[in-house]
């Protein structure tokens, strides 16, 4: 099986997460996408929604699509093991006979290429990636400008231009909830109702 691993804070999950997942599933002939919420204890980003709420919203969002599955592998990892390198190592053990692809936007390719990820070089050497165009970033140039990326460029970076830019960020949705906006149709209705019911993101920045 070909499996995409889509990591994000999902704080909250948005319609663009679902649309991008479905687009790459179709284009790259993947059998399955694992939605992998990142752990709350991350050194690079402070998350607003607790692990339980973010997980519940992912479950609600993917419930009707049999290609989509939740993985709590990163969220439940011991402290210090919550980085993508370690997560992919564990997933590889869980799925020894399958082909795994880490799914990410071009902004993340830039970060990895800059050397800002934990064990980024080993991560790149050991895995395959599906990279989605974003923010007008030139993905080929990003690869050729970074020794870390270009030295591993043997076909492991599968570049996808989705066709539409379609930007809906979780940050924007959180701001809408906290500042009296109306983000209703930017995320699945079940997640919108969940957020309202639990009063989430009222004090977001
Ligand atoms: N519109 C998009 N096009 C391409 N990639 C995307 C898009 N939205 C998110 N991604 C990718 O999905 C992954 C998870 O992104 P994330 O959920 O952090 O989105 P974000 O919009 O950057 O959210 P936040 O507002 O929380 O920073 C990253 O690899 C990111 O690059
Ligand atoms: O491993 C790292 O060093 C690392 C640093 C930043 C982000 N990540 C992963 O990148 C994915 C997208 O993260 P984010 O911040 O855009 O939600 C998610 O799976 C994170 O675990 C991983």
DSSP the chain: -EEEEEEE--TT--HHHHHHHHHHHHHTT-SEEEEEEPPS--SS---SS-HHHHHHHHHHHHTT-TTEEE--TTTTSPTT--SHHHHHHHHHHHSTTSEEEEEEEHHHHHHHHTT-STTHHHHHHH-EEEEE--TT--HHHHHHH-HHHHTT-SS-EEEE--SS-----HHHHHHHHHTT---GGGS-HHHHHHHHHHTTTTT--
**Ligand 2 pocket by Cβ (under 6 Å):** 7-9, 36, 38, 44-45, 83-85, 108, 117-118
pTM of the model: 0.96
Position 205 scores a pLDDT of 64
Average pLDDT, rounded, for the chain: 95
> What is the number of the ligand 1 atom nearest to the C-alpha of 172?
25
Any atom of ligand 1 within 6 Å of the Cβ of 174? no
Residue 44 pLDDT: 59
Rounded average pLDDT over 157-184: 94
Laid out side by side, the sheet with 32-37 consists of 68-70, 32-37, 2-8, 99-105, 128-132, 157-160
Please work out whether the CB of residue 56 comes within 6 Å of at least one atom of ligand 1: no
pLDDT the model gives residue 163: 86
The percent of residues above 90 in pLDDT, for the chain, comes to 88
* pLDDT, tens digit (0-9, with 9 covering 90-100), for 80-92: 999 999 999 999 9
Q: Which pLDDT value is given to residue 50?
A: 87
Residue 75 Cβ inside 6 Å of ligand 1? The answer reads no
Interval 94-143: pLDDT, tens: 999 999 999 999 999 999 999 999 999 999 999 999 999 999 999 999 99
Ligand nearest to the CA of 173: 1
- Report yes or no for ipTM above 0.90: yes
For the CA of 8, the closest atom of ligand 1 is 14
Confidence of residue 162 (pLDDT cuts 50, 70, 90): confident
Q: What is the pLDDT of residue 40?
A: 79
pLDDT band for position 203 (50/70/90)?
confident
CA 199 to ligand 1 centroid distance, Å: 24
Residue with the nearest Cα to atom 16 of ligand 1?
8
Ligand 2 atom closest to residue 118's alpha carbon, by position in its atom list: 3
- For residue range 25-67, list pLDDT tens digits in order: 999 999 999 999 998 766 556 666 789 999 999 999 999 999 9
Ligand 2 geometric centre to CA of 112 (Å) = 10
The architecture in CATH of the region 2-198 reads 3-Layer(aba) Sandwich (3.40)
Average pLDDT for 151-177: 95
Residue range 5-29, pLDDT digits in tens: 999 999 999 999 999 999 999 999 9
């Amino acid at each position: 099986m070909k499996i995409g691993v889509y990591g994000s804070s999902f704080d909250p999950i948005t319609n663009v997460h679902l649309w991008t997942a479905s687009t790459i599933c179709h284009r790259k002939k993947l059998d399955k996408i694992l939605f992998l919420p990142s752990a709350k204890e991350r050194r690079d980003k402070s998350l607003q929604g607790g692990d339980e709420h973010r997980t519940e919203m992912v479950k609600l969002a993917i419930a009707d699509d049999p290609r989509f599955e939740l993985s709590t592998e990163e969220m439940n990892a011991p402290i210090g093991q919550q980085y993508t390198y370690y997560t992919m190592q564990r997933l590889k053990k869980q799925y020894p006979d399958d082909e795994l692809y880490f799914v990410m936007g071009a902004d993340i390719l830039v970060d990895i290429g800059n050397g800002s990820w934990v064990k980024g070089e080993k991560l790149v050497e050991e895995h395959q990636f599906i990279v989605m165009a974003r923010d007008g970033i030139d993905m080929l140039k990003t690869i050729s400008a970074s020794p870390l990326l270009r030295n591993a460029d043997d076909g492991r970076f599968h570049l996808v231009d989705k066709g539409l830019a379609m930007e809906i960020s979780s940050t924007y949705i959180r701001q809408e909830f906290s500042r009296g906006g109306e983000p209703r149709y930017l995320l699945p209705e079940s997640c919108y109702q969940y957020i309202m019911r639990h009063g989430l993101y009222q004090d977001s920045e």
